[in-house]
């Protein structure tokens, strides 16, 4: 047996174990008949896949006779197994992480901090330089509520408990009695999951989404942050790097949950205020638990003169201080409750700033170290200090996001009220002159009468009220004000003025988001023009943050065109800010799927332009990715360390500058790719009808995934569809169109030219950016299956134009796969990724029936006005396929 096979034997054993227990539950709950039906379908799918050609008629013959209720139960069975397979695979990753073993074929697990430090040493980078780079290092992860998490929270809890049981079963000292008990408990949990409705029946509110984010912190990240810091501290010590400050934490968290109002009418100023208050309540509650633990531990009497001067003579001076801290935290919590519920705020002095709590804890820390009790200070007190420096007194920094035209409309109403004309009709020069003059003016711009006027309509009032919430809440719990669809300098200055109008004393940093192809291409010029304005440059002299959009740029230009535009924009922006001497932080708006910027952490950071990371990175973590990467403490520890290691590596050993011929070749590839992508997406008249007939794009709106509507506006074509459902729909039928359309044609054109062929192979060999493009393309194409897409067409359409387009798309997909084979020289897409190859193969016999079921259910539902059973079954197939592919949007 090979090392790889032996290493992954426990994974196969876990999958088999969970499958056996699910089978037992099916027999017990639904009878032998359903179990036999599921097994017959599964075996047919296995045999069909092993023979290389899918026997569609055989599988369909097994499914067609089933009534609606049985279809639902069959769908649930296959979906449940796929979720169990995910548990086993996630647990296997944890198992290998604990053993510090590399996960072969997984590019996100091949470089931890230990390996990075060893490589830096080999390259002659001195420990002191590493320490100087780490001290200001900043990794900020922004949790977002984008609707890609299809699994209900109650089921996530059960799945986490199952993973804990698998870990217990791994214990080498387990006896037979314990093993039997754990198996029984595992079956109980699988039964509980089977008896639970998989589908969320009510759409969550923005406050619900925020509470979900708080739960991730409470259940996982609160434990993970101190653990990862201890791991990092140990690795640095082994590498001979001097200790960093005791409370040093390079990781921060922010959130869009309750602040992202772009296209979401459900996020209002009232919602944002409530979320900010709830976050402070949760922070106080979590710190209160820490303080209770410290009260139990810090019973010693030896204390510094500084501490005793504060407490007076005492046998337990640490507890004296901690009791006061506990009382203030309880008051803080009660005050937040009263503000949320609209009750009178109780008297008492709570904590209003993080510094207040930090000063109390640092007093205890200094005293312990002064009297020779540093080992105690390095215990739970150190963990609490690190949590405070990571989460603050507000738990998360909340970003605000709004679309640029909403700000324009608000200022247009103001200028019309003042009799100055319509701001929205002015050219860029007029807008800038007005904005700069008002930013420097000391007089108020509007009076109370404006708010009572007809010009201050609902949308305008909402923008202004949001800025008033910013003013009243203060800066500590707020992060960036992100402007969607930012195009011009005035878009940025407008938000600065709106904050001034609301009386914001310490304004939120204003972050333009460049997300279409044109906006990315113009980003460097836009920011250069802003930096040429003395007032603006002075405002950002300590640092500027800019956001790069991945989802909408890929929807606009396709995967390859967007990737090159993102790279080029970052290059231009990095050079512009270096020229002006202003530190730059790039905020990457990535999603989970490849076509929305998703990629392994190290690959993502090391493929950025040289100098663009510079010790600072900000990244969105979206939807199901939050659960996969941070839902369990041990997994979160690993992923947080990866971010720190990759940021350090990208800063000290940045990738090489691309050669001139590589740039020229990349532009040629992009031109062909964008043209090919847009030819289908924008110009083919059958594309919209194909999407809405053959994919479940229309049905996705029935899933209560998130608080935000699937469309920016009702009706409309592709341009009105959000990037997430656009990707989700194509993923469900395994066509994965947004991730490869146009790219295959570009590669084919290059490979057919001998000179271009040599260049692209050189790029794939030596350029990290292009290596990342190729690797991610391989991964997504491995999940694509044109035969599955053909099933949907056969069942759902007889329109000749849609059939024509389907044939074209499948031919282009095949050509893209062939081009990739020619480029890499690998016969199998997954020759370099055996883990994914095994993962896909073990899932196919379960996803294949779900795909057939989904097409059948879509057809039946479209013939009826409504059918609760069929609708439930369809939603189960959507969730099951998403689980099987480990990807939604």
Q: What is the pLDDT of residues 237-256, one digit of tens each?
A: 999 999 898 889 999 999 99
Residue 863 DSSP code: T
Q: How far, CA to CA in Å, does 275 sit from each of 260, 407, 478, 510?
A: 12, 23, 11, 21
d(CA 678, CA 667): 16
Is the model's pLDDT at 457 over the cut of 90? yes
Contacts 24+ apart (CB under 8 A), 532-541: 533/432, 533/436, 533/489, 535/436, 535/439, 535/440, 536/489, 536/492, 536/493, 537/580, 537/582, 539/496, 540/509, 540/582, 541/582
Residue 301's closest CA among 317, 312, 323, 322?
317
d(CA 741, CA 554): 10
d(CA 415, CA 404): 17
- pLDDT confidence of residue 829: 74
Nearest 5°: CA angle at 765, between 764 and 767?
70
Is the model's pLDDT at 659 over the cut of 50? yes
Is the model's pLDDT at 579 over the cut of 50? yes
| Highest mean pLDDT, choosing among 144-148, 264-268, 610-614, 667-671 | 667-671
Mean pLDDT for the chain overall: 88
Is the model's pLDDT at 155 over the cut of 90? no
Is the model's pLDDT at 166 over the cut of 70? yes
Q: Identify the active-site residue in 146, 211, 431, 629.
A: 146
Residue 605's pLDDT band, with cuts at 50, 70 and 90, is confident
Is the model's pLDDT at 97 over the cut of 80? no
Q: Identify the active-site residue in 382, 487, 555, 588.
A: 555
Sign of the CA dihedral 330, 334, 340, 344? negative
Is the model's pLDDT at 168 over the cut of 60? yes
| Torsion angle (degrees, nearest 10) of CA 730, 734, 739, 740 | -120
- pLDDT confidence of residue 223: 96
Q: Do 398 and 276 meet the contact criterion of CB atoms below 8 Å apart?
A: yes
d(CA 768, CA 253): 28
Classify 137 as helix, strand or coil.
coil
Taking the domains of the chain in order of start, what are their residue ranges?
1-101+153-196+833-889, 271-391, 397-608, 660-832
Residue 716's pLDDT band, with cuts at 50, 70 and 90, is low
Classify 561 as helix, strand or coil.
helix
d(CA 636, CA 647): 17
146 is catalytic: yes
Average pLDDT (156-179) is 89
* Percent of the chain's residues with pLDDT above 70: 91
Is the model's pLDDT at 876 over the cut of 50? yes
- Range from 12-16, 600-604, 860-864 carrying the lowest mean pLDDT: 600-604
Question: Which tops the pLDDT comparison, 545 or 555?
Answer: 545
Average pLDDT (172-178) is 91
Q: Do 67 and 867 meet the contact criterion of CB atoms below 8 Å apart?
A: no
Is the model's pLDDT at 334 over the cut of 90? yes
Residue 799's closest CA among 685, 681, 718?
685
- Helix (H), strand (E) at residue 401: strand 397-403
For residue 401, list its beta bridge partners. 260, 482
d(CA 92, CA 202): 34
| Torsion angle (degrees, nearest 10) of CA 816, 818, 819, 822 | 160
Contacts of 767 (CB under 8 A, 6+ apart): 655, 656, 658, 662
- pLDDT confidence of residue 103: 44
- Range from 21-35, 370-384, 569-583, 597-611 carrying the lowest mean pLDDT: 597-611
Residue 546's pLDDT band, with cuts at 50, 70 and 90, is very high
Average pLDDT (465-492) is 93
Q: Do 478 and 470 meet the contact criterion of CB atoms below 8 Å apart?
A: yes
Question: Which tops the pLDDT comparison, 510 or 90?
Answer: 510
- pLDDT confidence of residue 108: 42
Residue 102's pLDDT band, with cuts at 50, 70 and 90, is very low
Q: Do 630 and 221 meet the contact criterion of CB atoms below 8 Å apart?
A: yes
- pLDDT confidence of residue 234: 94
Query: What are the b/e assignments for 858-887, b being 16+ CB within 10 Å?
Result: beebeeeeeeeebbbbbbbbbbbbbbbbbb
Fold type of domain 271-391: de novo design (two linked rop proteins) (1.20.1440)
- pLDDT confidence of residue 147: 45
Average pLDDT (381-385) is 97
d(CA 274, CA 207): 8
pTM of the predicted model, to two decimals?
Answer: 0.89
- Could you count the other beta carbons within 10 Å of the beta carbon of residue 668? 17
Residue 609 DSSP code: P
Question: Which tops the pLDDT comparison, 654 or 843?
Answer: 654
Question: Which tops the pLDDT comparison, 382 or 595?
Answer: 382
- pLDDT confidence of residue 885: 82
- Range from 190-199, 363-372, 397-406 carrying the lowest mean pLDDT: 190-199
Residue 361's closest CA among 324, 314, 330, 335?
324
431 is catalytic: no
- Could you count the other beta carbons within 10 Å of the beta carbon of residue 331? 17
Is the model's pLDDT at 550 over the cut of 90? no
d(CA 471, CA 87): 45
Is the model's pLDDT at 101 over the cut of 60? no
Classify 312 as helix, strand or coil.
coil
Average pLDDT (648-657) is 92
Is the model's pLDDT at 515 over the cut of 70? yes
Residue 597's pLDDT band, with cuts at 50, 70 and 90, is very low
Residue 662's closest CA among 573, 571, 744?
571
Helix axes 269-297, 382-391, angle to 10 degrees: 170
- pLDDT confidence of residue 150: 55
Q: How far, CA to CA in Å, does 641 sit from each of 121, 145, 630, 635, 638?
A: 19, 23, 12, 10, 5
Average pLDDT (721-739) is 83
């Amino acid at each position: 047996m090979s090392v790889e096979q032996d290493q992954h034997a426990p994974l196969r054993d876990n999958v088999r174990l969970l499958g056996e227990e699910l089978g037992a539950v099916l027999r017990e709950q639904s009878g032998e008949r359903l179990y036999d039906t599921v097994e017959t379908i599964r075996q047919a799918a296995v045999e069909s896949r092993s023979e290389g050609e899918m026997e569609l008629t055989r599988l369909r013959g097994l499914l067609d006779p089933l009534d609606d209720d049985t279809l639902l139960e069959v769908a649930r069975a296959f979906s449940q197994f796929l979720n169990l397979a995910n548990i086993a695979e996630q647990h296997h990753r944890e198992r290998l992480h604990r053993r510090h073993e590399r996960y072969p074929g997984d590019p996100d697990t091949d470089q931890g901090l230990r390996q990075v430090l060893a490589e830096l040493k080999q390259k002659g980078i001195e420990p002191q330089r590493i320490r100087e780079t780490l001290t200001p290092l900043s990794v900020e992860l922004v949790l977002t509520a984008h609707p890609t998490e299809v699994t209900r929270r109650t089921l996530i809890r059960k799945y986490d408990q199952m993973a804990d049981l698998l870990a217990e079963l791994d214990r080498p000292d387990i006896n037979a009695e314990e093993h039997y008990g754990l198996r029984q408990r595992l079956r109980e949990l699988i039964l509980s999951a089977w008896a639970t409705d998989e589908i969320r029946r009510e759409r969550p509110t923005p406050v619900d989404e925020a509470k979900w984010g708080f739960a991730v912190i409470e259940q996982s990240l609160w434990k993970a942050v101190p653990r990862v810091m201890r791991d990092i501290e140990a690795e640095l010590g082994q590498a001979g790097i001097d200790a960093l400050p005791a409370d040093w934490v390079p990781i921060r968290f922010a959130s869009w949950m309750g602040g992202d109002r772009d296209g979401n009418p459900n996020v209002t100023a009232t919602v944002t205020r409530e979320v900010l208050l709830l976050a402070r309540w949760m922070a106080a509650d979590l710190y209160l638990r820490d303080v209770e633990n410290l009260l139990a531990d810090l019973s010693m009497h030896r204390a510094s003169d500084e501490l005793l001067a504060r407490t007076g003579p005492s046998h337990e001076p640490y507890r004296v201080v901690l009791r006061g801290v506990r009382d203030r935290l309880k008051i803080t919590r009660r005050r937040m409750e009263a503000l949320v519920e609209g009750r009178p705020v109780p008297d008492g002095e709570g904590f209003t700033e993080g510094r207040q709590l930090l000063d109390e804890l640092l007093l205890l820390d200094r005293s312990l170290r002064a009297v020779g009790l540093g080992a105690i200070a390095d215990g739970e007190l150190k963990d609490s200090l690190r949590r405070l420096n990571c989460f603050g007194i507000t738990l998360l920094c909340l970003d605000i996001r709004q679309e640029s035209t909403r700000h324009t409309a608000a200022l247009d109403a103001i200028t019309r009220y003042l009799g100055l004309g319509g701001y929205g009709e002015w050219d860029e020069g007029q807008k800038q002159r007005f904005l700069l003059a008002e930013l420097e003016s000391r007089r108020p711009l509007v009076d109370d009468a404006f708010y009572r006027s007809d010009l201050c309509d609902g949308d305008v009032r909402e923008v202004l009220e949001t800025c008033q919430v910013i003013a009243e809440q203060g800066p500590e719990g707020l992060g960036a004000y992100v402007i969607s669809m930012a195009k011009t300098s005035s878009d940025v200055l407008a938000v600065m003025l709106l904050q001034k109008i609301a009386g914001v004393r310490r304004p939120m940093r204003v972050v333009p988001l460049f997300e279409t192809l044109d906006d990315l291409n113009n980003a460097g010029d836009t920011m250069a023009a802003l930096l040429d304005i003395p007032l603006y440059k002075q405002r950002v002299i300590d640092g500027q943050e800019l956001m790069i959009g991945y989802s909408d740029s890929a929807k606009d230009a396709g995967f390859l065109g967007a990737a090159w535009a993102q790279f080029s924009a970052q290059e231009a922006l990095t050079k512009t800010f270096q020229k002006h001497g202003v530190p730059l932080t790039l905020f990457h708006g990535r999603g989970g799927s490849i076509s929305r910027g998703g990629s392994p952490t190290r690959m993502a950071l090391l493929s950025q332009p040289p100098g663009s990371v510079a010790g600072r990175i900000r990244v969105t973590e979206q939807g199901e990715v939050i659960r996969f990467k941070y839902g369990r403490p041990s997994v979160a520890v690993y992923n947080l360390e990866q971010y720190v290691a990759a940021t350090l590596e990208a800063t000290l050993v940045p990738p090489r500058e691309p050669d001139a011929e590589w740039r020229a070749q990349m532009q040629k590839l992009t031109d062909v790719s964008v043209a090919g992508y847009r030819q289908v997406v924008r110009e083919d008249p059958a594309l919209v009808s194909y999407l809405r007939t053959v994919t479940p794009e229309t049905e996705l709106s029935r899933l209560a995934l998130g608080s935000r509507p699937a469309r920016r506006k009702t009706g409309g074509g592709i341009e009105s569809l959000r990037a997430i459902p656009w990707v989700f729909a194509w993923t469900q039928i395994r066509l994965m169109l947004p991730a490869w359309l146009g790219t295959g044609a570009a590669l084919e054109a290059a490979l057919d030219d001998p000179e271009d062929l040599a260049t692209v192979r050189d790029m794939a060999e030596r350029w990290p950016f292009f290596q990342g493009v190729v690797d991610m393309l391989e991964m997504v194409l491995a999940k694509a299956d044109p035969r599955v897409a053909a099933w949907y067409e056969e069942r759902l359409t007889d329109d000749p134009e849609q059939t024509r387009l389907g044939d074209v798309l499948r031919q282009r997909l095949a050509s893209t796969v062939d081009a990739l084979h020619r480029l890499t020289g690998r016969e199998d897409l997954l020759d370099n990724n055996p883990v994914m190859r095994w993962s896909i193969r073990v899932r196919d016999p379960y996803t294949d029936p779900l795909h057939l079921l989904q097409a059948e259910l879509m057809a039946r539902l479209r013939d009826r006005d409504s059918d609760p059973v069929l609708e439930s079954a369809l939603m189960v197939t959507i969730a099951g396929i998403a689980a099987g592919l480990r990807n939604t949007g």
